[in-house]
Amino acid sequence: MDRFLLMTCFARAVETGSFSAAARDLGLGQPNVSRHVAALEDHLQTRLLHRSTRKLALTSEGERYYAEVRRILDAVDESESSFRENTDPSGLLRVACPTALAHKFVLPHVPAFLERYTGVTLDLQINDRYVDLINEGAELAIRIGHLEDSALRARRIGGFERVCVASKAYLAKYGTPNTPAELRSHNCVIYTLLASGTTWRFRDTEIQVSGRFRVNSPEAVRESVAAGLGIGIGPQWLYEDGLRDGTLQLLLEQYTAPPVPVQIVYVAKRLLPKRAIAFMDFIEEAFSAVPALNTNSKPPQV
Protein backbone atom coordinates (compact mmCIF):
# COMPACT_ATOMS: atom_id res chain seq x y z
CA MET A 1 0.00 0.00 0.00
CA ASP A 2 1.42 3.38 -1.08
CA ARG A 3 0.15 5.49 1.78
CA PHE A 4 1.75 8.63 0.37
CA LEU A 5 -0.35 8.21 -2.79
CA LEU A 6 -3.47 7.59 -0.73
CA MET A 7 -2.88 10.72 1.33
CA THR A 8 -2.21 12.75 -1.80
CA CYS A 9 -5.48 11.60 -3.38
CA PHE A 10 -7.39 12.40 -0.19
CA ALA A 11 -5.85 15.88 0.12
CA ARG A 12 -6.52 16.81 -3.50
CA ALA A 13 -10.10 15.51 -3.26
CA VAL A 14 -10.65 17.79 -0.27
CA GLU A 15 -9.01 20.77 -1.94
CA THR A 16 -10.71 20.40 -5.33
CA GLY A 17 -14.10 19.34 -3.95
CA SER A 18 -14.55 16.16 -5.99
CA PHE A 19 -12.89 12.90 -6.98
CA SER A 20 -13.11 13.78 -10.67
CA ALA A 21 -11.36 17.15 -10.19
CA ALA A 22 -8.69 15.50 -8.05
CA ALA A 23 -8.20 12.86 -10.75
CA ARG A 24 -7.68 15.52 -13.43
CA ASP A 25 -5.23 17.34 -11.17
CA LEU A 26 -3.23 14.20 -10.41
CA GLY A 27 -3.46 12.61 -13.86
CA LEU A 28 -5.31 9.58 -12.49
CA GLY A 29 -8.69 8.12 -13.36
CA GLN A 30 -11.62 9.13 -11.18
CA PRO A 31 -12.31 5.50 -10.11
CA ASN A 32 -8.68 5.21 -8.96
CA VAL A 33 -8.88 8.33 -6.78
CA SER A 34 -12.14 7.15 -5.24
CA ARG A 35 -10.67 3.71 -4.61
CA HIS A 36 -7.51 5.16 -3.05
CA VAL A 37 -9.49 7.33 -0.63
CA ALA A 38 -11.67 4.35 0.29
CA ALA A 39 -8.53 2.29 0.92
CA LEU A 40 -7.21 5.03 3.19
CA GLU A 41 -10.47 5.05 5.16
CA ASP A 42 -10.32 1.27 5.42
CA HIS A 43 -6.72 1.46 6.67
CA LEU A 44 -7.63 4.07 9.28
CA GLN A 45 -10.94 2.35 10.07
CA THR A 46 -12.76 5.66 10.02
CA ARG A 47 -14.89 7.68 7.61
CA LEU A 48 -13.04 10.75 6.34
CA LEU A 49 -15.50 12.09 3.76
CA HIS A 50 -19.26 12.34 3.38
CA ARG A 51 -20.06 11.59 -0.24
CA SER A 52 -23.05 12.86 -2.20
CA THR A 53 -23.87 13.35 -5.88
CA ARG A 54 -23.19 17.08 -5.49
CA LYS A 55 -20.07 17.42 -3.36
CA LEU A 56 -17.67 15.95 -0.84
CA ALA A 57 -17.67 17.07 2.79
CA LEU A 58 -15.19 16.29 5.53
CA THR A 59 -16.26 14.41 8.62
CA SER A 60 -14.96 15.70 11.94
CA GLU A 61 -12.32 12.95 11.83
CA GLY A 62 -11.53 13.93 8.25
CA GLU A 63 -10.96 17.56 9.25
CA ARG A 64 -8.35 16.55 11.81
CA TYR A 65 -6.71 14.05 9.48
CA TYR A 66 -6.60 16.51 6.57
CA ALA A 67 -4.67 19.02 8.67
CA GLU A 68 -2.10 16.34 9.51
CA VAL A 69 -1.88 15.08 5.94
CA ARG A 70 -1.45 18.59 4.56
CA ARG A 71 1.47 19.21 6.92
CA ILE A 72 3.11 15.94 5.87
CA LEU A 73 2.74 16.67 2.16
CA ASP A 74 3.99 20.23 2.59
CA ALA A 75 6.99 19.06 4.58
CA VAL A 76 7.91 16.52 1.88
CA ASP A 77 7.49 19.12 -0.85
CA GLU A 78 9.62 21.68 0.97
CA SER A 79 12.29 19.14 1.89
CA GLU A 80 12.64 18.16 -1.75
CA SER A 81 12.68 21.74 -2.99
CA SER A 82 15.40 22.65 -0.49
CA PHE A 83 17.76 20.46 -2.55
CA ARG A 84 16.85 22.34 -5.71
CA GLU A 85 18.48 25.68 -5.00
CA ASN A 86 17.08 27.60 -7.95
CA THR A 87 13.49 26.40 -7.81
CA ASP A 88 10.74 29.00 -7.72
CA PRO A 89 7.98 28.94 -5.10
CA SER A 90 5.22 26.54 -6.11
CA GLY A 91 2.25 24.58 -4.82
CA LEU A 92 -0.91 25.38 -2.90
CA LEU A 93 -0.72 28.12 -0.28
CA ARG A 94 -3.56 28.57 2.20
CA VAL A 95 -3.84 31.97 3.88
CA ALA A 96 -6.58 33.04 6.31
CA CYS A 97 -7.50 36.73 6.45
CA PRO A 98 -10.20 38.91 8.08
CA THR A 99 -12.90 40.06 5.68
CA ALA A 100 -12.52 43.85 5.79
CA LEU A 101 -8.74 43.69 5.60
CA ALA A 102 -8.88 41.16 2.76
CA HIS A 103 -11.26 43.16 0.60
CA LYS A 104 -9.58 46.52 1.10
CA PHE A 105 -5.88 45.66 1.20
CA VAL A 106 -5.13 42.04 0.20
CA LEU A 107 -7.35 41.22 -2.78
CA PRO A 108 -6.12 44.21 -4.83
CA HIS A 109 -2.60 42.72 -4.70
CA VAL A 110 -3.51 39.10 -5.52
CA PRO A 111 -3.20 39.50 -9.32
CA ALA A 112 0.34 40.86 -9.02
CA PHE A 113 1.33 38.08 -6.60
CA LEU A 114 0.01 35.34 -8.87
CA GLU A 115 1.66 36.95 -11.88
CA ARG A 116 5.01 37.07 -10.10
CA TYR A 117 4.79 33.50 -8.74
CA THR A 118 3.23 31.52 -11.57
CA GLY A 119 3.76 28.19 -9.84
CA VAL A 120 1.75 29.10 -6.73
CA THR A 121 -1.97 28.46 -6.24
CA LEU A 122 -3.39 30.75 -3.57
CA ASP A 123 -6.29 29.64 -1.38
CA LEU A 124 -7.32 32.85 0.41
CA GLN A 125 -9.73 31.95 3.21
CA ILE A 126 -11.69 35.13 3.96
CA ASN A 127 -13.60 35.09 7.23
CA ASP A 128 -13.57 36.73 10.64
CA ARG A 129 -13.48 33.64 12.82
CA TYR A 130 -10.29 32.52 14.54
CA VAL A 131 -8.49 30.02 12.30
CA ASP A 132 -6.45 27.43 14.19
CA LEU A 133 -3.28 27.11 12.11
CA ILE A 134 -2.13 24.05 13.99
CA ASN A 135 -5.28 22.00 13.33
CA GLU A 136 -6.85 23.49 10.19
CA GLY A 137 -4.10 23.14 7.62
CA ALA A 138 -3.48 26.78 6.68
CA GLU A 139 0.16 27.88 6.50
CA LEU A 140 -0.42 31.57 7.24
CA ALA A 141 -2.99 33.87 8.79
CA ILE A 142 -3.15 37.66 8.64
CA ARG A 143 -4.34 38.86 12.04
CA ILE A 144 -5.18 42.12 13.70
CA GLY A 145 -3.90 42.55 17.25
CA HIS A 146 -1.11 41.27 19.45
CA LEU A 147 0.11 37.67 19.33
CA GLU A 148 -0.95 35.70 22.38
CA ASP A 149 -0.36 32.09 21.25
CA SER A 150 3.16 30.94 22.15
CA ALA A 151 2.97 28.18 19.52
CA LEU A 152 2.95 30.83 16.78
CA ARG A 153 5.39 33.34 15.41
CA ALA A 154 4.47 36.67 13.86
CA ARG A 155 5.82 39.14 11.36
CA ARG A 156 4.44 42.66 11.71
CA ILE A 157 3.30 44.03 8.35
CA GLY A 158 1.46 47.17 9.45
CA GLY A 159 -0.56 48.92 12.10
CA PHE A 160 -3.50 51.28 12.44
CA GLU A 161 -5.47 53.26 14.98
CA ARG A 162 -8.83 51.97 16.18
CA VAL A 163 -11.17 54.95 16.33
CA CYS A 164 -14.56 55.66 17.86
CA VAL A 165 -17.14 57.13 15.48
CA ALA A 166 -20.82 58.02 15.15
CA SER A 167 -23.05 59.60 12.54
CA LYS A 168 -23.76 63.30 12.95
CA ALA A 169 -27.46 62.45 12.90
CA TYR A 170 -27.04 60.14 15.92
CA LEU A 171 -25.04 62.74 17.82
CA ALA A 172 -27.61 65.45 17.10
CA LYS A 173 -30.29 63.23 18.60
CA TYR A 174 -28.48 61.67 21.56
CA GLY A 175 -25.56 63.97 22.30
CA THR A 176 -21.79 63.55 22.06
CA PRO A 177 -19.85 61.55 24.68
CA ASN A 178 -16.88 63.48 26.05
CA THR A 179 -15.21 60.63 27.95
CA PRO A 180 -15.10 56.86 27.40
CA ALA A 181 -17.17 56.34 30.56
CA GLU A 182 -20.07 58.23 28.95
CA LEU A 183 -20.35 55.47 26.33
CA ARG A 184 -22.16 53.39 28.96
CA SER A 185 -25.23 55.55 28.49
CA HIS A 186 -25.12 55.33 24.69
CA ASN A 187 -26.28 52.76 22.16
CA CYS A 188 -23.14 51.10 20.81
CA VAL A 189 -23.05 48.84 17.76
CA ILE A 190 -21.38 45.61 18.90
CA TYR A 191 -19.02 43.68 16.63
CA THR A 192 -19.50 40.19 18.02
CA LEU A 193 -16.14 38.82 16.80
CA LEU A 194 -14.05 41.55 18.44
CA ALA A 195 -11.38 39.80 20.52
CA SER A 196 -12.19 41.90 23.59
CA GLY A 197 -15.94 41.29 23.26
CA THR A 198 -18.05 44.19 24.50
CA THR A 199 -15.02 45.78 26.17
CA TRP A 200 -13.74 48.76 24.20
CA ARG A 201 -10.15 49.75 24.83
CA PHE A 202 -8.97 53.34 25.01
CA ARG A 203 -5.76 54.92 26.16
CA ASP A 204 -5.35 54.04 29.86
CA THR A 205 -8.88 52.67 30.26
CA GLU A 206 -11.32 49.96 29.17
CA ILE A 207 -15.09 50.39 29.04
CA GLN A 208 -17.85 47.80 28.94
CA VAL A 209 -20.41 48.93 26.36
CA SER A 210 -23.83 47.71 25.31
CA GLY A 211 -26.28 48.25 22.49
CA ARG A 212 -29.40 46.97 20.80
CA PHE A 213 -27.67 45.81 17.62
CA ARG A 214 -24.95 43.18 17.32
CA VAL A 215 -23.40 41.87 14.12
CA ASN A 216 -20.46 39.67 13.09
CA SER A 217 -19.24 41.78 10.16
CA PRO A 218 -17.06 44.92 10.38
CA GLU A 219 -18.61 46.25 7.18
CA ALA A 220 -22.07 45.82 8.72
CA VAL A 221 -20.91 47.73 11.80
CA ARG A 222 -19.80 50.57 9.55
CA GLU A 223 -23.11 50.64 7.67
CA SER A 224 -25.07 50.50 10.91
CA VAL A 225 -23.12 53.40 12.38
CA ALA A 226 -23.67 55.39 9.18
CA ALA A 227 -27.41 54.64 9.46
CA GLY A 228 -27.49 56.15 12.95
CA LEU A 229 -28.00 52.95 14.93
CA GLY A 230 -25.30 53.84 17.42
CA ILE A 231 -21.64 54.48 18.11
CA GLY A 232 -19.01 52.20 16.61
CA ILE A 233 -15.35 51.41 17.05
CA GLY A 234 -12.97 50.02 14.46
CA PRO A 235 -10.01 50.63 12.14
CA GLN A 236 -9.75 54.23 10.98
CA TRP A 237 -9.56 53.09 7.34
CA LEU A 238 -12.93 51.36 7.68
CA TYR A 239 -14.67 54.69 8.27
CA GLU A 240 -12.57 57.00 6.10
CA ASP A 241 -15.25 57.56 3.41
CA GLY A 242 -17.86 58.66 5.94
CA LEU A 243 -15.35 60.87 7.75
CA ARG A 244 -14.32 62.43 4.47
CA ASP A 245 -17.84 63.22 3.28
CA GLY A 246 -18.91 64.50 6.69
CA THR A 247 -21.61 61.95 7.53
CA LEU A 248 -19.49 60.49 10.35
CA GLN A 249 -17.61 62.17 13.17
CA LEU A 250 -14.63 61.06 15.23
CA LEU A 251 -15.21 60.79 18.97
CA LEU A 252 -12.91 60.72 21.99
CA GLU A 253 -9.79 61.44 19.92
CA GLN A 254 -7.71 62.28 22.98
CA TYR A 255 -8.41 58.79 24.36
CA THR A 256 -7.38 56.82 21.25
CA ALA A 257 -5.40 53.72 22.15
CA PRO A 258 -1.93 52.98 20.70
CA PRO A 259 -1.88 51.56 17.16
CA VAL A 260 -3.08 48.00 16.66
CA PRO A 261 -0.57 45.76 14.84
CA VAL A 262 -1.37 43.84 11.67
CA GLN A 263 0.66 40.63 11.54
CA ILE A 264 1.18 37.49 9.52
CA VAL A 265 1.34 34.53 11.86
CA TYR A 266 2.55 30.97 11.31
CA VAL A 267 3.26 27.89 13.39
CA ALA A 268 6.66 28.23 15.06
CA LYS A 269 7.71 24.59 14.71
CA ARG A 270 6.43 24.08 11.17
CA LEU A 271 8.78 24.21 8.18
CA LEU A 272 7.57 27.11 6.05
CA PRO A 273 7.51 26.38 2.31
CA LYS A 274 9.08 28.87 -0.10
CA ARG A 275 5.61 29.96 -1.28
CA ALA A 276 4.70 31.06 2.26
CA ILE A 277 7.89 33.08 2.66
CA ALA A 278 7.34 34.63 -0.78
CA PHE A 279 3.81 35.65 0.20
CA MET A 280 4.94 37.21 3.48
CA ASP A 281 7.66 39.20 1.73
CA PHE A 282 5.25 40.31 -1.00
CA ILE A 283 2.46 41.43 1.35
CA GLU A 284 4.87 43.19 3.70
CA GLU A 285 6.22 45.17 0.76
CA ALA A 286 2.72 45.96 -0.50
CA PHE A 287 1.45 47.04 2.92
CA SER A 288 4.48 49.27 3.49
CA ALA A 289 3.18 51.53 0.70
CA VAL A 290 -0.30 51.90 2.25
CA PRO A 291 -0.53 55.08 4.38
CA ALA A 292 -3.60 53.80 6.25
CA LEU A 293 -1.51 50.93 7.62
CA ASN A 294 1.56 52.98 8.46
CA THR A 295 0.46 56.20 10.10
CA ASN A 296 -0.79 57.45 13.45
CA SER A 297 -2.53 60.43 11.89
CA LYS A 298 -6.28 60.81 12.04
CA PRO A 299 -8.35 60.27 8.89
CA PRO A 300 -9.59 63.38 7.09
CA GLN A 301 -12.77 65.19 8.12
CA VAL A 302 -14.70 68.02 6.59
- Find the radius of gyration of the CA atoms of the chain: 23
More confident residue, 1 or 43: 43
Checking if the pLDDT of 301 tops 80, the result is no
| Closest among 259, 234, 258, 267 to 248, alpha carbons compared | 234
Checking if the pLDDT of 298 tops 60, the result is no
Mean pLDDT on 61-78: 83
Helix axes 19-26, 30-44, angle to 10 degrees: 110
Residues 198 and 183: their CA atoms lie apart, in Å, by: 12
pLDDT of residue 234: 95
Helix residue ranges per DSSP H, 182-268: 218-226, 240-245
Pick the most confident of 43-57, 150-164, 181-195, 260-274.
181-195
Is residue 299 very low, low, confident or very high in pLDDT (cuts 50, 70, 90)?
very low
- Angle at alpha carbon of residue 156, lines to 85 and 98, rounded to 5°: 100
Helix residue ranges per DSSP H, the chain: 3-16, 19-26, 30-44, 60-81, 99-101, 110-116, 133-136, 168-174, 218-226, 240-245, 274-288
pLDDT of residue 63: 87
Helix axes 60-81, 3-16, angle to 10 degrees: 110
pLDDT of residue 88: 83
Summarised one tens digit per residue, pLDDT across range 277-293 is 999 999 999 999 999 99
pLDDT of residue 213: 97
Summarised one tens digit per residue, pLDDT across range 130-172 is 887 766 668 899 999 887 777 789 999 999 999 999 999 999 9
pLDDT of residue 294: 87
Q: What is the pTM of this model?
A: 0.72
Amino acid at 21: A
| Closest among 182, 217, 221, 186 to 202, alpha carbons compared | 182
Instruction: Give the strand order in the sheet containing 248-251.
Output: 232-235, 162-167, 248-251
Share of the chain above pLDDT 90, in %: 63
Domains of the chain in sequence order: 1-83 (1.10.10.10), 88-158+259-297 (3.40.190.10), 162-255 (3.40.190.10)
Residues 237 and 162: their CA atoms lie apart, in Å, by: 9
pLDDT of residue 256: 93
CB atoms under 10 Å from CB of 5, counted, come to: 16
- Angle at alpha carbon of residue 86, lines to 5 and 111, rounded to 5°: 80
